[in-house]
């Protein structure tokens, strides 16, 4: 939204509202990362009703919230210091906490792909002699002669498995 505001597409009031919401989201996630919930009968009963493992030892609220069965609202009775937040902020907090691990893995994969993208393929590389490639990939790569793994990844008929083979061979 900063770019929208700077381009004149977003009114100042809306931009400031979005900024406030982003700040509330950051603050609440940080609070949940520091909030420790201890095992107690009421909390464990809730967890069992939700079909997830009861607590044996204290756990950070942010970690408990990563469980698919547990929602932000479920933890409310065990979090007396919880601030009153708008529903859209609560939804965003829950999404960010629950999917943080997936997002981090995706970002790592993107970074690995960027590194792989520029990996050079020697000009005399003989794709036809690489037994781990599918016959279609061998044929097309030999014909196209990509100079990087990034180019090879965009050749029709080259699969992720073919790219894995090339990556290993070129490492």
Say which residues have a Cβ less than 8 Å from residue 21's Cβ, sequence separation at least 6: 86, 88, 89, 92
Query: How many angstroms separate the Cα of 119 from the Cα of each of 65, 116, 142, 148, 163?
Result: 40, 5, 17, 5, 12
What is the CATH number assigned to the segment(s) 2-116? 1.10.10.1800
Query: Residue 110: what pLDDT?
Result: 81
Query: Residue 113: what pLDDT?
Result: 78
- Average pLDDT on 19-47 reads 98
Residue 1, pLDDT > 80, answer no
Residue 102, pLDDT > 80, answer yes
Query: Residue 115: what pLDDT?
Result: 82
Range of lowest pLDDT (9-18, 31-40, 87-96): 9-18
Residue 47, pLDDT > 80, answer yes
Query: How many angstroms separate the Cα of 64 from the Cα of each of 25, 69, 97, 103, 130?
Result: 18, 10, 10, 18, 48
- Average pLDDT on 72-100 reads 96
Query: Residue 114: what pLDDT?
Result: 81
Query: Residue 20: what pLDDT?
Result: 97
The two tokens of residue 34 are: 């520091």
Residue 4, pLDDT > 90, answer no
All CATH 1.10.150.570 domain ranges of the chain, comma separated, are: 119-170
Name which CATH class applies to 119-170. mainly alpha
Mean pLDDT of the chain: 94
CA distance 166 to 171: 8
Percent over 90 (pLDDT), the chain = 80
CA distance 139 to 61: 54
Query: Residue 171: what pLDDT?
Result: 80
């Amino acid at each position: 939204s900063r770019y929208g505001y700077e381009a004149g597409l977003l009114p100042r009031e809306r931009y400031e509202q979005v900024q406030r919401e982003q700040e509330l989201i950051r603050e609440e996630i940080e609070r949940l990362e520091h909030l420790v919930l201890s095992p107690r009968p009421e909390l464990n009963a809730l967890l069992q009703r939700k079909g997830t493992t009861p607590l044996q030892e204290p756990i950070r609220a942010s970690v408990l919230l990563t469980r698919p069965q547990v929602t932000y609202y479920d933890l409310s009775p065990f979090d007396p210091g919880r601030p009153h937040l708008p529903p859209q902020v609560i939804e965003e907090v829950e999404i960010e906490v629950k999917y943080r691990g997936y997002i981090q893995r995706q970002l790592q994969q993107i970074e690995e792909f960027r590194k792989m993208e520029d990996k050079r393929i020697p000009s005399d590389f003989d794709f036809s002699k690489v037994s781990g490639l599918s016959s279609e990939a061998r044929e097309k790569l030999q014909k196209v002669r990509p100079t990087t793994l990034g180019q090879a990844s965009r050749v029709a008929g080259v699969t992720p498995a073919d790219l894995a083979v090339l990556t290993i061979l070129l490492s």
